[in-house]
């Protein structure tokens, strides 16, 4: 009879082999491999729409931020609804967190017992909000399960992103000519799309059956590439009629009509080669099928740049409030605007740098948290794609650790900035009384 230890070892070895053969690496085995492979979600820096309610676009990152907030409120409620001298597990955990940050705030403030209590509420809130926002983004399915965005939807989003760039680079062209350049920009992208039937993409079809935009839209790729190269480096163009030959202009006009017709349909219209396998043609298998991108239903809140930015702005505003309240308007403003005659030009320049530093803190706050969490999400998606079953497990553990560290760093920086704000310009705390 097989022992439990042996069974566990055999199970994990078998699962590991299955994850390799069934994942993206298994595509090298031909049709036999890659049977667990699904489409890689389309992840952009801006958050994607989850649902639209009476014109309001509810984003997938916003949904997860609300979920994290509700989960945090539930835990706090469970830990505080029946407070006893002998705490239960939830109450005990909350008390440990409170005591840890209370002692930390007092130590950093350096004014003795309870000297840092003015900072404590915000520091704890920042830590818990960032922590829960990070951790709920690691839940399996977040960032990887989603809905299909059609080719028409994708082009619509791209047009809005590209339009401002085109208008800025080519201000001399008219509205119609701007549309032609937008078409060229979109068609020149090497974007590929997932084949799907109905609302689902079957396992094993994800990346293996991706098609380029040239399989969905009927256009002369060489002609588009040639015209695009002529135009993209010349920002002084006054008119396309003056810069291009007549046949190229006529080509752009016809292209605009035909392309948008094909985009609205969004189906495979001609032969194409499988990405990564140019020897296999499967147009007869997928001709007439719809293609699109997999957009996640849910996304970690802190992988959306707006969330860490909002938290950072709130923190800096509160820090300024602490400074003005502790030192008064004149004394606190005197940290930044120093009289160059009485204090010297160097001190005046240093004050200006400190003033600018308050704004740079918002940027550093934002991108430190966003960069780490966004990179973590990409890593989890990549490992789930390569090793579908178990490859993601050790990286999930790592992301739990990174999420906790980032929350602690965010909270500590909030505390340090607060302590620096209430310290007088002469180097001593003018408001050291206990709170």
Q: Give the residue from 427, 402, 184, 149 showing the smallest Cα distance to 296.
A: 149
Tell whether 338 and 366 lie within a shared domain.
yes
431 within domain boundaries: no
Judged on CB neighbours under 10 Å (0-12, 13-18, 19+), 255 is buried
Please check whether residue 236 lies inside any domain of the structure: yes
Distance CA 184, CA 177 (A): 11
pLDDT in tens, 200-224: 666 666 666 778 888 888 877 778 8
User: Based on the domain organization, do 283 and 155 belong to the same domain?
Assistant: yes
| Calpha distance 320→315 (Å, rounded) | 9
Q: For all residues of the chain together, what is the average pLDDT?
A: 81
More confident position, 307 or 160:
307
Task: Give the range of the structural domain holding residue 5, as residue numbers without chain letter.
Answer: 1-37
Co-location of 280 and 418 in the same domain: no
At 62 the pLDDT is 92
Residue where a domain terminates, one of 269, 296, 323: 296
Top mean pLDDT of 98-112, 144-158, 283-297, 394-408 is at 394-408
DSSP at 48: P
Question: Are 168 and 232 within one domain?
Answer: yes
Q: Answer yes or no: do 127 and 225 share one domain.
A: no
Q: Which position has the higher pLDDT, 298 or 240?
A: 298
* 119 and 31 both lie in a single domain: no
pLDDT at 431 over 60: no
Count of alpha carbons within 13 angstroms of residue 137, beta-carbon side: 34
Range 21-44 average pLDDT = 73
Instruction: State whether 367 and 281 are in the same domain.
Output: no
- Mark whether 108 and 155 lie in a shared domain: no
Residues contacting residue 35 through CB under 8 Å, at least 6 positions apart: 21, 22, 26, 203, 204
Q: Say if residue 348 is in the same domain as residue 221.
A: no
Of 54-58, 272-276, 408-412, the one with minimum mean pLDDT is: 272-276
Domain boundary among 244, 267, 296: 296
Does a structural domain hold residue 432? no
Residue 349 is predicted with a pLDDT of 80
Could you tell me the pLDDT band of residue 272, with boundaries at 50, 70 and 90?
Answer: low
Angle (deg, nearest 10), helices 221-232 and 175-187: 120
173 shares its domain with 284: yes
Query: Residue 434 above 80 pLDDT?
Result: no
In this prediction, residues 314-339 reach a mean pLDDT of 85
- What's the structural domain count of the chain? 3
- In degrees, rounded to 5, the angle at the alpha carbon of residue 50 between the alpha carbons of residues 44 and 51 is 140
Phi, psi of 92, rounded to the nearest 5 degrees? -60, -40
* pLDDT single digits (tens) 286-312: 778 888 888 888 989 999 999 999 999
- In this structure, the answer to whether residues 156 and 291 fall within a common structural domain is yes
């Amino acid at each position: 009879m097989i022992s439990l230890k042996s069974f566990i070892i055999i199970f994990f070895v078998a699962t590991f082999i299955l994850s390799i053969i069934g994942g993206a690496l298994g595509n090298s085995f031909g049709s036999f491999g890659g049977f667990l492979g699904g489409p890689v979600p389309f992840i952009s820096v801006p958050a994607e729409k989850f649902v639209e309610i009476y014109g309001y676009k509810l984003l997938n990152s916003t949904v997860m931020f609300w979920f994290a907030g509700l989960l945090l409120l539930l835990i706090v409620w469970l830990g505080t609804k029946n407070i006893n001298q002998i705490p239960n597990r939830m109450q005990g955990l909350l008390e440990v967190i409170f005591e840890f940050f209370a002692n930390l705030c007092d130590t950093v403030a350096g004014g003795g017992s309870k000297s840092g209590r003015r900072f404590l509420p915000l520091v704890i809130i920042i830590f818990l909000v960032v922590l829960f926002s990070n951790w709920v983004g690691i839940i399996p399915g977040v960032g990887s399960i989603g809905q299909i965005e059609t080719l028409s939807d994708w082009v619509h989003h791209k047009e809005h992103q590209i339009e401002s760039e085109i208008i800025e680079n080519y201000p001399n062209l008219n509205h119609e000519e701007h549309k032609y350049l937008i078409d060229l920009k979109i068609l020149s992208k090497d974007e590929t799309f997932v084949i799907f039937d109905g609302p689902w993409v079957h396992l094993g079809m994800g990346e293996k059956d991706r098609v380029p935009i040239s399989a969905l839209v009927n256009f002369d790729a060489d002609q588009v590439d040639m015209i695009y190269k002529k135009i993209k480096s010349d920002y002084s163009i006054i008119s396309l009629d003056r810069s291009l030959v007549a046949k190229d202009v006529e080509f752009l006009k016809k292209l605009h009509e035909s392309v948008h017709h094909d985009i609205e349909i969004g189906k495979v219209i001609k032969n194409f080669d499988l990405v990564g396998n140019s020897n296999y043609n499967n147009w007869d298998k997928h001709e007439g099928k719809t293609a699109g991108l997999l957009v996640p239903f849910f996304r970690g809140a802190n992988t959306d740049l707006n969330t860490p930015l909002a938290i950072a702005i709130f923190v800096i505003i509160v820090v300024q409030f602490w400074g003005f309240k502790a030192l008064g308007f004149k004394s606190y403003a005197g940290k930044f605007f120093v009289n160059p005659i009485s204090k010297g030009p160097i001190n005046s320049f240093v004050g200006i740098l400190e003033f600018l530093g308050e704004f740079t803190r918002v940027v550093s706050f934002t991108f430190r948290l966003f960069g780490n969490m966004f990179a973590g999400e990409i890593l989890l998606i990549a490992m789930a794609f390569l090793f579908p079953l178990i490859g993601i497990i050790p990286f999930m553990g790592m992301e739990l650790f990174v999420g906790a560290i980032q929350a602690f760093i965010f909270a500590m920086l909030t505390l340090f900035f607060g302590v620096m704000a209430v310290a007088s310009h002469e180097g001593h705390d003018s408001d050291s009384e206990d709170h």
